[in-house]
Structure 1
Amino acid sequence: MKQFAFLASLCGLLSTVAAVTPVEVEGSQFVNTKTNTRFQMVGVDYQPGGSSGYKPESGKDPLSSADDCLRDAILLQRLGVNTVRIYNVDPSLNHDECVSIFNAAGIYLLLDVSTPIYGEYLNRAEPGSSYTKEFLQRLFSMVEAFKDYPNLLGFFGGNEIINEDAAKDVPAYIRAIQRDLKEYIAKHASRKIPVGYSAADVRDVLKDSWNYVTCESSESPSSNADFFGINSYSWCGDSSYTKSGYDKLVEIFSKTSVPVFFSEYGCNEVKPRIFTEVQAVYGPEMTKAMCGGLIYEYSQEDNEYGLVKLGGKDNTTLLVDYDNLLGQFKKLDIKKLQSLDPSTTSIKPPSCKSSLITSSNFLKKFDIPKRPAGGNDMIKNGIKNPPKGKLVQVKNTKTDTKVYTKEGKLLSNLELKLLQNDQANVPGENTSGTPTDDPNAPKGSKASHSGAGMKLVNSHFTYLLAGMTILGLVVA
């Protein structure tokens, strides 16, 4: 009997899944509450296939193929990433294996709740017509599908919805979405999961957008954003803290009451990208106001922002941008960045009032739209037949995909390092892969940065291209 009890205990131990510590928001910081250290986001935006890659009828999304996720998690862990942002996922699919792989790699997930599919996004032109019961069903399905994964960092309730032409009515609907998500999470999740907004770096409305979505309302206390992301492409090539306008961002957010970070950055006007902005983003000036960011983007798509060119099982290639970013991430002093200033965790948001808004064209009222019929019942009772995710054991740590360096050498011995409980990935610590000559390498595997020979486009067009791409992903 004792032997049986021992074996049962051993089996229980072996089935335990190592998990990262959920990160919480305290004042203007993300904080690991177990270690009481600051969580500084070292991230990459991750949406293989781009906006056209999301097709619910296909039964696939970026977190549905364990083989693809293992390949990508190995390369992201090797790069030093601790967070990825994923724009389009289908909550009805099973994501257990993929999310568990990223969890084992020490990588957190930031998820957008909207998609480009009709009925699954807020239409900035007519926000009232798209704020429906069916839309809420989509939002709450996302919560149910991902709430039990400890490496879920948070949800984006909207992406680049506010612009100069959509500043009169839309902001109130963004707060409505934040309210709905947060109240559903409070009722049906076992922990607080942060909800925030991702804004385009349009200086005419940026500060007003931040003030509007993050201020505290006594009438709707759950409608404020827990964090604020900025999609910014102002640092191009070997720029500087002042030339890029990063100093102006620090001025705006120096007294922020919520975590602020780059939800997208990495201008590609100058190719290859050298990512000198990384040292500024994690430098002493900016870390006073911001919590890191996410480089746009992991996979090479038509817009030429990729770090990795995905070519199936036999010809996936690390681009020169990957190596350049790897070099920049390795320079970071993560232990120093983790030092937590207690004064930053006690900052309270300002009360919502019209004086927070500086533009005459921006909404100054903080009346939040009522939920569509049936919305209150969903929050009270939960949605019917909710999808449920859970961590599972990661049994396979080696990818069967051939991955080549930019020089055309095969990276042998690529393997995911399974981190222990509570560990997040750190640049330079969890690397694998040895460049070797491969006589069977397919022609064309030697890679330079795709598109490096193309003539450069001006920064305004590049910014619009990136913004249009992501806009299509989330808000159509």
Structure 2
Amino acid sequence: MKSFAFASALAAISSSLVTATPTPTDPEQPHKRATLPTVTASGNAFWTGSTRFYVRGIDYQPGGSSAMADPLADSTICQRDIAEFKKLGVNTIRVYITDNSANHDTCMNALADAGIYVIIDANNPLYSINRFEPAASYNTAYLQSVFATIDEFIKYPNTMAFFSGNEVINDNVTSTLSARYVKATTRDMRQYIGNRGYRKVPVGYSAADVSQNRIQLASYMNCGTDDERSDFFAFNDYSWCNTNFVQSGWDQKVKSFTGYGIPIFLSEYGCITNGRDFGEVQALMSSEMTGVYSGGLMYEYALEANNFGIVKIPSPQASTVQEEAGFTKFASAMSAYPAPTGNGGFTSTTNSAACPTKDANWLVDSTLLPAIPDGAKAFMTAGAGTGPGLKGDGSQNAGGTSTGDASPGSGTSTAAPSSSKNAAGVTKMGPIEKAPLIITGLVFVLTLTGTMLL
């Protein structure tokens, strides 16, 4: 969301330390409904079972960041918009702001019934990394909110992925210093998922497309020990302005990311200069890109002041929306250029990148990451407890910060996969998941019980 990072960076928040008492996460009960297959990462691609999965979606935040509203917590709003998503033919939505104290069963299940996956931003303007004061904003209260968001959404099989941040690093070179804290958050989220015995939902970062540090940032998020590396990398690309694959520079970006080693997709695209016919969909689904990219999310669904949206919503609780010209164009592009069959020329193995060195455009001078704050360590075993939601005190100046650097490998999960009682579903793990999948008798019993309940 184009205004999200700016809003979070300027938030002036006075708060106390976390007041929620961490409690163990309850084991998820068997579902009576049929569910979508979960999405996993393997090689440089996403998969549902043995089928290559491409992100063919749209960014979804009615009202924008200023509204501070969770569209997935309101069944009226989400049911209205799911009908429109089905017309578009999307298989994924991204939601920037969610309330981790709310219940999302109705909307998440309705999305699953429509065949739609969800990518969740783990941050919101109250609980996020401040790009200019990252050390202060990376604290116990912040991670409690992030982990509570994981607790709330990881139980849904159609939760495809989590973003650990959005455009925190931008074209202001000083902001590159916040990369260590975003990467630490990614590490912590992945460790929390592992320690809590959850299924391995991919975690990665949504980057701004900044030419002077694009490759350095991508390399940084995929360098270091396995516990420090992201499961995928995404970036917001507005360089295709009704042009073509070459004039937009997308051909050069494909070359730059060839051999990167983990999945890449566009977390936002859709330049509005010169009009929009969404030729990006054809390119993303073509053999020119599928060997490196795994699709993308068009920005955006709801028409706001920035004029990127493709539906006009008369009022927040309106029962119907007005489809703009862009709606028909996007739906036509999605229909004309379906996901390709086969594996799309993916790379079957994963590999890390070399960490970038400090220069005029990249100010990070260490490969070490900040250690998880002492107060947040308990969450790894006790759980995050009740989330603060969207009315909490905020976290950016809450105290309880990191007290030093972590040793490489310290973010490795300490839980054995076979001991999980909280897994939201058993999935086939690819090379990104180093430990072998062990199906326990408990999981078998729960699965059998769930089948009998259908």
TM-score exceeds 0.5: yes
- 2:81 paired with 1:79: no
Q: Which residue of 1 aligns with 2:46?
A: 30
Paired residues of 1:158 and 1:197 also in contact (CA < 8 A): yes
Would the alpha carbon gap of residues 54 and 382 (structure 1) be closer, same or farther in structure 2, given more than 3 Å must change? same
- 2:207 paired with 1:191: no
Q: Which residue of 2 aligns with 1:41?
A: 55
CA RMSD after TM alignment: 2.3
Q: Which residue of 2 aligns with 1:203?
A: 211
Q: Which residue of 2 aligns with 1:438?
A: none
Which amino acid in 2 is paired with 1:20?
Answer: L
Q: Which runs of 5+ in 1 are unaligned?
A: 1-14, 56-60, 388-476
CA positional deviation for 1:141: 0.5
Q: Which runs of 5+ in 2 are unaligned?
A: 1-30, 389-454
Would the alpha carbon gap of residues 315 and 209 (structure 1) be closer, same or farther in structure 2, given more than 3 Å must change? same
Q: Which has the higher contact order (CA 8 A, sep 6+)?
A: 2
**Paired residue for 2:288, among 285, 292, 301?**
285
Would the alpha carbon gap of residues 288 and 51 (structure 1) be closer, same or farther in structure 2, given more than 3 Å must change? same
Q: Distance in 2 between matches of 1:185 and 1:366?
A: 23
Paired residues of 2:241 and 2:274 also in contact (CA < 8 A): yes
Cα deviation, 1:2-57, whole Å, max 9, x if unaligned, reads xxxxxxxxxxxxx8212101100001000112xx01001101000011111215xx
Q: Which residue of 2 aligns with 1:6?
A: none
Q: Which residue of 2 aligns with 1:53?
A: 67
- 2:153 paired with 1:146: yes
**Paired residue for 2:230, among 225, 233, 236?**
225
Paired residues of 1:353 and 1:364 also in contact (CA < 8 A): no
Max Rg structure: 1
Please list, as runs of the form range in 1=range in 2, the aligned pairs for 1:35-434 lying within 5 A after superposition.
36-55=50-69, 61-117=70-126, 120-163=127-170, 164-217=172-225, 221-237=226-242, 239-271=243-275, 273-312=276-315, 313=318, 316-334=321-339, 337-340=340-343, 344-350=347-353, 352-354=354-356, 361-385=362-386
Q: Distance in 1 between matches of 2:263 and 2:175?
A: 23
Q: How many residues align?
A: 359
Would the alpha carbon gap of residues 106 and 375 (structure 1) be closer, same or farther in structure 2, given more than 3 Å must change? same
Cα deviation, 1:173-210, whole Å, max 9, x if unaligned, reads 11110111001100114310110001111111100000
Paired residues of 1:148 and 1:189 also in contact (CA < 8 A): no
Paired residues of 1:84 and 1:294 also in contact (CA < 8 A): yes
CA positional deviation for 1:333: 3.5
Higher mean alpha-carbon deviation, 208-217 vs 157-166, is at 157-166
Secondary structure of 1:198's aligned partner: strand
Q: Which residue of 2 aligns with 1:17?
A: 33
CA positional deviation for 1:231: 0.4
CA positional deviation for 1:353: 3.9
TM-score w.r.t. length of structure 2: 0.75
Q: Distance in 2 between matches of 1:361 and 1:241?
A: 28
Paired residues of 2:51 and 2:343 also in contact (CA < 8 A): yes
Paired residues of 1:174 and 1:213 also in contact (CA < 8 A): no
Q: Which residue of 2 aligns with 1:9?
A: none
Which amino acid in 2 is paired with 1:116?
Answer: P
Q: Distance in 2 between matches of 1:286 and 1:231?
A: 16
Paired residues of 2:287 and 2:344 also in contact (CA < 8 A): no
CA positional deviation for 1:168: 4.6
Q: Which residue of 2 aligns with 1:11?
A: none
Paired residues of 1:236 and 1:267 also in contact (CA < 8 A): yes
Q: Percent identical across equivalent pairs?
A: 35
Secondary structure of 2:149's aligned partner: helix
TM-score w.r.t. length of structure 1: 0.72
